[in-house]
Every structure is written in C-alpha cells, then in structure tokens.
C-alpha cells in the first residue's frame, strides 16, 4: 500500500492553489493522510482528485461532518500497521515536545508506548504529525515518528518562496518504508 503524507498546506482559498507538484508527487498513492493546518476543506477535495484522503484538524481548520476530517487524533489501520495522526505532537496529551527549532523530538522518560496509547486510545506503530513545517523521520522505542514538513510553507532549510516537502510511505507485509520528498529537488535519504 502506498500512502502520501502531507501537512501544513495552509491553502488561501479553494485548495486549488496548491502547486501542481504536490499532486504530481502523490499520484498513484492508495491513500493520502493530511496532518492538519489545511485552512479550508477545499484542500481535501483537491487532494481527493488523486486518492482518498483522511485528515486531522490543525489550529485554524474548519469542521466537517463525516469521517474524512477528525477533530484531534485518529488511528488509521493499513495492512496491519496502526498509524496515529495528530497535528501537534503535544496534543491532546503533553509529554513529547519538539526542539526549539522544530527539527527533532524530545521524549519523556519511561515507556513511550503507554503515552501514545493514552494519546490515541490504542497502540500505534507510526505517528504522523505536522505543525512545525520541519520535515522529520525518527524512531524511538520501536515507534516511527514522521513530520512530512510543509509543501507550501517550508521550514528553515528551504529558501523563502521555495516548495517544501511531503512524505511517501509504503507498507508491504507489515514492513514500513518512509521517504521524504523535497519538491524542489530529490528524495531525501533516510536518517
């Protein structure tokens, strides 16, 4: 199963203002997961022209009836892998924080899986989040954490006005492979 990972699109209007490179990068995906700060429902409609979309709300996102846009957190099950989604890694239960520059995570002492069970209401294998606009892939106590960055408002390593990043996940027989795609350049190597 191929899954596009995206966050922090911050659409100024109907969602159709997303750069075509975003849609080109996620064509052929089986599913798209959006980790909030879309700012308008039209972003989900536009992404759905490529593949089904599931999302969680960011700070200023509108509400939507139905299952497509969850209020705070959600867990998506794909081929035996539980993917927890949240916009801000510090929601709704604190414990995991980001470094001041947003480029790394700071974990509390103890079993991270217990904290994540409380946050998501069930065990998760992968956590997808956004908010910082800084792309990140790391593993801690057997859980993979991914921030796909922002394709439209990239973090500090990108030039102003440049395209940013999104993530591509492939699940094959329970094995998870995640890569970040720099829309200005090429696929970034695994950490």
Residue 94: pLDDT band (50, 70, 90) is confident
- For residues 144 and 159, the model is more confident at 144
* pLDDT tens profile 104-147: 999 999 999 999 999 999 999 999 999 999 999 999 999 999 99
pLDDT of 189 > 60? The answer is no
pLDDT of 92 > 90? The answer is no
Instruction: State the pTM of this model.
Output: 0.94
Residue 160: pLDDT band (50, 70, 90) is low
Question: What gap in Å lies between CA 141 and CA 128, rounded to an integer?
Answer: 16
Question: What gap in Å lies between CA 166 and CA 36, rounded to an integer?
Answer: 13
In the DSSP assignment, the letter for residue 100 is T
For 2-188, CATH number? 3.60.21.10
Phi-psi region of 46 (alpha: psi -120 to 50; beta: other; left: phi over 0): alpha
3-state secondary structure of 68: coil
- Percent of the chain whose pLDDT exceeds 70: 94
User: What is the residue extent of each domain of the chain?
Assistant: 2-188
User: Helix, strand, coil % (nearest 5) of the chain?
Assistant: 10, 30, 55
- For residues 186 and 122, the model is more confident at 122
Asked if residue 149 lies in contact with residue 180, where contact means CB atoms within 8 angstroms, the answer is: yes
- Percent of the chain whose pLDDT exceeds 90: 79
Question: What gap in Å lies between CA 135 and CA 103, rounded to an integer?
Answer: 7
């Amino acid at each position: 199963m191929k899954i596009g990972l995206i966050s922090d699109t911050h659409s100024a209007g109907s969602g159709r203002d997303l750069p075509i490179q975003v849609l080109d990068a996620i064509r052929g995906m089986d599913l798209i997961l959006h980790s909030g700060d879309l700012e308008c429902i039209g972003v989900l409609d536009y992404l759905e022209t490529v593949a089904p979309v599931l999302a969680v709300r960011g700070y200023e996102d509108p509400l939507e009836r139905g299952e497509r846009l969850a209020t705070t957190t959600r867990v998506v099950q794909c081929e035996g892998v539980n993917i927890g989604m949240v916009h801000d890694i510090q929601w709704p239960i604190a414990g995991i924080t980001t470094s001041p520059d947003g480029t790394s995570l700071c974990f509390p002492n103890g079993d991270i899986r217990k904290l994540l069970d409380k946050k998501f209401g069930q065990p998760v294998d992968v956590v997808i989040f956004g908010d910082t606009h800084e792309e990140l892939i790391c593993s801690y106590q057997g859980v993979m954490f991914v921030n796909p960055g922002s394709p439209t408002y990239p973090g500090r390593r990108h030039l102003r006005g440049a395209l940013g990043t999104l993530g591509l996940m492939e699940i094959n027989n329970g094995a998870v492979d995640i890569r970040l795609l720099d829309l200005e350049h090429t696929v970034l190597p695994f950490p």
